Amino acid sequence: MDNNPSLIREVWEFLKVRKAWWITPIVIMLILVAVLIIIGQSSAVSPFVYALI
């Protein structure tokens, strides 16, 4: 049914097949930084995000 898997599913399958578990912390950190950037741009939480960095 799902002929076009999502990016997250493709990354998960890559990690399972290739046994590349060392990439997992890098991916998690990239996601966290992206979330901080998005929250820090336009939010009432911005001053608190800038205080963390």
Give the helix/strand (H/E) hosting 8.
Answer: helix 7-18
Separation CA 39–CA 26 (nearest Å): 20
| Per-residue pLDDT band at 49 (split at 50, 70, 90) | low
Ramachandran area for residue 4 (φ above 0: left; ψ -120 to 50: alpha; else beta): beta
| Closest alpha carbon to 27 in 12, 6, 49 | 12
Task: Read off the pLDDT of residues 13-44 as tens digits, 9 standing for 90 and up.
Answer: 887 888 878 888 888 899 888 888 887 777 67
14 Cβ contact list (under 8 Å, min separation 6): 20
